Amino acid sequence: MTRLLAITQRVEIKAEYGERRDALDQRWTLFLQACGLIPVPVPNHTKAALDLVSSADLCGILLSGGNDIHADAPERDCMEYELAAWARKNKKPVLGVCRGMQLLLDLFKVPLQRINGHAGITHTLDNGRNVNSYHRFAAVGDASPFTVLSRTDDGCIEEIRHPQEYIHGIMWHPERMEPSNRDDIILFQRLFAEKRA
């Protein structure tokens, strides 16, 4: 059965038109369909976003990548923090991708730091997996209360899971993998399953 998944969007600033646009890579639709999910884009407006997730029959929340937190998209920051709080209160699974994982770490007071050499590359994790990388901020060291599932060879945390809640984070972009990685599809299917053990 196909399930609806709320997905947040990046803010694109188009100065020549005087616009701030919500945007989502079309590859997300293709990847999520491979997982048996239909994306429901969430606007970067807190009240509208909360109204949407409260009224739709959603299997969870996906915090997508794009925009650094606490930078040029304050409306997105505000909306995503409120959305994460809503999901936790309503026991809905949350998966953060890249910026989304950074937001989850920040929400739980795990410090982030600026890093070099992680934007526009592919690297191997300590579990042997090769992933893409497009970020300039990361957590290193301890990530309590999260369980760290993988790191890069320079110690940057690449995957986390909350031990008591349905919260998961990855720093790579599964939608940009060609072809889609089977492990990513399984992760999404398990986290956003209709029934969980």
How far CA 193 is from CA of 34, 36, 58, 63, in Å, comes to 14, 10, 11, 17
pLDDT of residue 196: 52
24, 39 Cβ separation under 8 angstroms: yes
Which residue ranges of the chain lie beneath pLDDT 50?
A: 197
Helix/strand/coil (H/E/C) assignment for every residue in the chain? CCEEEEEECEEEEEHHHCEEEEECCCHHHHHHHHCCEEEEEECCCHHHHHHHHHHCCEEEEEECCCCCCCCCCHHHHHHHHHHHHHHHHCCCCEEEECHHHHHHHHHCCCCCEECCCCEEEEEECCCCCEEEEECCEECECCCCCCEEEEECCCCEEEEEECCCCCEEEECCCHHHCCCCCHHHHHHHHHHCCCCCC
Please tell me the distance from the alpha carbon of residue 175 to that of residue 5, in angstroms, as a whole number.
Answer: 15
Contacts of 89 (CB under 8 A, 6+ apart): none
Q: What is the pTM of this model?
A: 0.95
Give the tokens for residue 137: 């901020």
Give the tokens for residue 69: 């937190």
Give the tokens for residue 83: 């959305």
Give the tokens for residue 195: 């029934």
Please tell me the distance from the alpha carbon of residue 17 to that of residue 163, in angstroms, as a whole number.
Answer: 45
pLDDT of residue 97: 98
pLDDT of residue 59: 96
How far CA 189 is from CA of 13, 23, 31, 137, in Å, comes to 33, 24, 11, 27
